[in-house]
């Protein structure tokens, strides 16, 4: 959902692609709510100006997408109010639309952006695991606002939002791109014709292209899809959490054949390193010395900034555990993210 820099094009392309997948599955547009920063399609460095594609030679997935919330309206508070159906809080914001659900409603949530330990990142703020869990608890125990909730989360450390937190019997089923302690990865990278800008994310590309094939008379249970994605997504470990009784269900249960895996791999890039990857290729692709020097300076500044951040975090950790060296491994573990 995050915009502002062309290197996050892959997130927006994933979101747009998911919209068309839902439409193809028979979900009417008035039952789909889209939050997207929406400033990449006309970005001067977009390799397909005025369009967004999610794979090489792909169709324009931006075309036809109805966006409800843009820019600064894409934030955790609005997201949670949409889930809770709190129309009053969204009056005068974007389209103002919310999920108007009851105990018979099945809700599907797809999120694509950066993440950290116990957080999902929006453009200018973060959604914390306890806030999301509190909202789900309220919807289940207090307001009775759903029958089932299925969530697909594309983000680094996305497993940390649910592991040991999400209850097993509240009819919520979650699939994440990565475990609690690892990065998610990008797909369709290292393609000169697209300026070496990654076009998608490995987890998202996999499940979306599987769903594309479902339109041709195929069938994919959530459990079967998970098993396939665990094989197809090679660099991170796709995880499932929550109520596994939902696993045998499917988005399109009336189809016939199980689907095969998509082939998407070119070069996979850690979501944490995508800016380095992009800037490095800008240096390589420069055709004159002035452009090359400017690109190299941009790259060097980014590397230096990351080094300073790492050194600062190292100093903080060293000071914090000075009196308790046995804690060193704990703070260097999966929930310590050095940018």
Catalytic site residues? 114, 156
Contacts of 188 (CB under 8 A, 6+ apart): 10, 54, 55, 56, 194, 198, 199, 200, 205, 264, 266
Q: Is 258 helix (H, G, I), strand (E, B) or coil?
A: strand
Helix or strand (DSSP H, E) at 116: strand 115-116
Query: Do residues 184 and 153 touch, judged by C-beta distance below 8 A?
Result: no
Q: Count each helix (H run) and each strand (E run) in the chain, helices first.
A: 8, 12
Nearest 5°: phi and psi at 218? -110, 170
Q: Which residue has the tokens 């005025």?
A: 50
Nearest 5°: phi and psi at 297? -65, -40
């Amino acid at each position: 959902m995050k915009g502002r820099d062309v290197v996050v094009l892959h997130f927006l392309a994933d979101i747009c692609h998911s919209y068309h997948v839902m439409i193809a599955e028979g979900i009417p547009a008035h039952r789909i709510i889209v939050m997207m920063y929406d400033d990449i399609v006309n970005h001067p460095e977009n390799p397909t100006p005025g369009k967004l594609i999610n794979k090489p030679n792909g169709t324009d997935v931006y075309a036809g997408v109805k966006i409800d919330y843009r820019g600064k309206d894409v934030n955790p508070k609005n997201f949670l109010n949409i889930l809770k159906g709190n129309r009053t809080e969204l009056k005068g914001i974007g389209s103002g639309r919310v999920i108007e659900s009851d105990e018979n409603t099945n809700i599907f949530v797809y999120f694509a952006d950066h993440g950290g330990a116990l957080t999902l990142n929006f453009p200018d703020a973060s959604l914390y695991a306890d806030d999301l869990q509190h909202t789900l608890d309220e919807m289940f125990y207090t307001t009775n606002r759903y029958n089932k909730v299925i969530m697909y989360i594309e983000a680094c450390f996305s497993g940390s939002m649910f592991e040991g937190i999400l209850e097993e019997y509240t009819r919520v089923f979650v699939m994440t791109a990565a475990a609690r302690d690892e990065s998610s990865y990008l797909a369709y990278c290292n393609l000169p014709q697209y300026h070496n800008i990654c076009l998608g994310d490995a987890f998202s590309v996999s499940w979306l292209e599987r769903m594309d094939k479902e339109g041709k008379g195929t069938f994919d249970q959530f459990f079967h899809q998970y098993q396939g994605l665990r094989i197809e997504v090679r660099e991170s470990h796709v995880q499932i959490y929550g109520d596994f009784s939902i696993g045998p269900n499917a988005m399109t249960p009336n189809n016939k054949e199980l689907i095969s895996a998509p082939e998407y791999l070119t070069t996979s890039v850690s979501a944490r390193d995508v800016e380095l990857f992009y800037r490095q290729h800008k240096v390589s692709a420069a055709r004159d010395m002035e452009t090359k020097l400017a690109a190299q300076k941009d790259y060097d500044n980014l590397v230096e900034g990351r080094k300073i951040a790492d050194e600062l975090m190292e100093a903080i950790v060293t000071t914090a555990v000075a009196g308790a060296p046995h804690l060193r491994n704990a703070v260097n573990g999966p929930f310590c993210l050095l940018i």
